[in-house]
Structure 1
């Protein structure tokens, strides 16, 4: 029996033992947003279906494994959960309520048995503070969704698809790609020199509301595409100002929202404004009005006199912004202004997507 008396030699040997046995140098990168969630998909080899799987944070040495979740055991961090699809040989770790400290190196681990090294795949997790883009439009209009991409995606196929889950929409919900250029009311134009592609949707309908994903890669190649950006599109009916129907718009804390206010022909030259709360005749809280500096610098107003729609943009959204508003049109002295009631919803969650 060999005794190791030199503690420095012992430490050296232990360090050697702590080297991870990675069969590939390829690193999988996933992206999420603060407050949202991300799904980390971990492929593994056939033959390990019955073995425990886990996610390890940091360097994950033999002597220091930070494992927030492992199959067969309760998660040490309740934000983490793990499911194992033994048919496709992919286990998925879902992390919710993402935080900036979640960013960095992780490892997908598979237990191999006593006396053998576990199997590892290195993961790079990126956490972004940006929110999903929230856009509102009305029926009959057209919309341009602009998608910026890095130079490494220049020669890849660009596409956009619709669906709450990108892993589903990339195979079943693709609307248009740079291979087809146009599909019905959807068209795509790619400017490789600028690193931007633009998807245009014409003649918008209520059914067009939903989540749209800009991607690059190979259409139909599930889990092999890079998701670039995501847009939450809300379509409203064009409503006359006399109607009692309420327009609802949704935004996210820290983000921005565009409130689009339709008005009748004949009022192109009249002032437009947004009014908060009950907006009574004797108590109008008007943060922004055309022709005057905004009282609240987070509010701005533009008027498209051709389409008869003025748009109020609110940035740096806060929970106290939620509630009732009114799109107002000045009609002249001695006359009641024209109003459309607005309901603004502010959500604390942030949308996410993964690569």
Structure 2
């Protein structure tokens, strides 16, 4: 590995032993590496400084810099600052093939200043059933090349390998999902991982010598497609799962229930028989339908029961194993009866506080009391005004009928006034019913018709008078 090369440098160049132990710099593809290489007075007189890649026990691909000057080549910049006695190196837009051992060195006797092991890894994000392609560089040609998965700090489990000068790999991966092929057009090795699953998430190496020397590191993350459903007992549920029909059109599909975390108990599968791309479970409650044109699998579960709750897979059904397409979580709850439905309690957070109800009742009572008081006051005022109006109207009528100063009779406690108009005689007659007063001091006079006079007055001082008026001619015009 690269660290072994650095240990060899420590033995060959004692000046490098005084430096800090070499460390591994790990960067993601597309990232930037910044390194500072300090040097002592002994090396200060050397004007040229190098940044080079160490491989096969020699330094090649050199980048140099003079004092107070910088050199930029491709994606690498080297700058020497004699005042700070530091060589600064910047590598931008890092690529996986940049991984390796690098040195800062001085000219003349080639005095190493600092060495690092750079590891640039590929970060790959995939969905389940996707395919991973990785290209390993041609530089490893001639060695036994492997694609392995890192386990722990030192182990790398081989999944596929290719021998020297061979063109095809000997796959050791389960279900033959992994292979390596030499591409003479690109002059590279291509690693292929098909039908990815979430458990494939991990760190992989394209390596030499059965995984002991890393060439390229790949950090793979595989994500599940998930769905969630809720249903009532005795109800039904319908689930749809999509897939790439160009890749998996001819593959049988299955609906299974997850057991013990990784295994899945198959409930129903599609068939290639006369019934077409469909199937029904033994109990008849589960049906599956595969639309190969659209790339959609539809699963229907009927007459659900509480024990149907759990985790299910839409999966590719092959002879070797199941490959999950999507993960479906189903929760079946008991159906409530009518009586239970009417007695459901309201959550505490949604119930109003008791103090709020009391305050509302008090406020409502105050408002109603004020309105009642205003209504009573209004009624009293209207009654008083009406009474005064009636009194004023009664007094005016009495004054118009009898007046003592004009010889009109003064009325007692009861009176009735009638007016009539006789257009033929031009006379106005007033008829009064009087209650006589016991006083005999002054006579009372009143205009009455002769027929209305008492024939036999009894002990009453009554005088009658007949007053005649000449008839005035009518004015028909007026």
Both structures adopt the same fold (TM-score exceeding 0.5): no
TM-score interval for Structure 1 and Structure 2 normalised by the shorter chain: 0.3 to 0.5
Q: Which has the higher contact order (CA 8 A, sep 6+)?
A: 1
Higher Cα Rg, which structure: 2
Which structure has greater strand proportion?
A: 1
The TM-score, its normalising length taken from structure 1, stands at 0.39
The TM-score, its normalising length taken from structure 2, stands at 0.30
